[in-house]
Amino acid sequence: MRRRPLKIRASPGKVLSITDSEPRVARLYTARGRVQGVWFRDSTRRRAEQLGITGYATNLANGDVEVLACGSPEALESLHEWLQTGPPLAKVSEVTERTVEVRAFSTFEIA
């Protein structure tokens, strides 16, 4: 049985085409700096959805934001680049990254 590609809008005018047989990886990012109270999690959710990434973004007690992202290696690289800057009001000082086990998410959630 041939799988039909899933079309995902990556940015205005650009559509990524992926199938569910493409490799999925998961990475846990921690964004540090001024990343809370600046719409970082919601902006991350919107960017992740554009890239076809599932997972979550959550505030940590120490002021950081944790992002668990599951998707294609290319999509995660694009998200990682975006996280370096974040939304306009953010002042990101550092983003750490580590590969983790892929988890089953159907959407990208704000926790």
Distances (CA, A) of 1 to 18, 21, 22: 16, 12, 15
Q: Report the alpha-carbon distance of residue 5 to residue 11 in Å, rounded.
A: 18
Distances (CA, A) of 31 to 57, 58, 72, 103, 104: 10, 10, 20, 20, 23
E strands, 19-104, in order: 25-34, 54-59, 65-71, 91-100
Residue ranges per structural domain of the chain: 23-110
pLDDT, tens only, 58-92: 999 999 999 999 999 999 999 999 999 999 999 99
pTM (2 d.p.): 0.81
pLDDT, tens only, 16-55: 444 455 679 999 999 999 999 999 999 999 999 999 999 9
Q: Is 59 considered catalytic here?
A: yes
* Catalytically annotated residue among 24, 41, 45, 47: 41
Task: List the CATH code of the domain at 23-110.
Answer: 3.30.70.100
* Catalytically annotated residue among 59, 62, 98, 103: 59
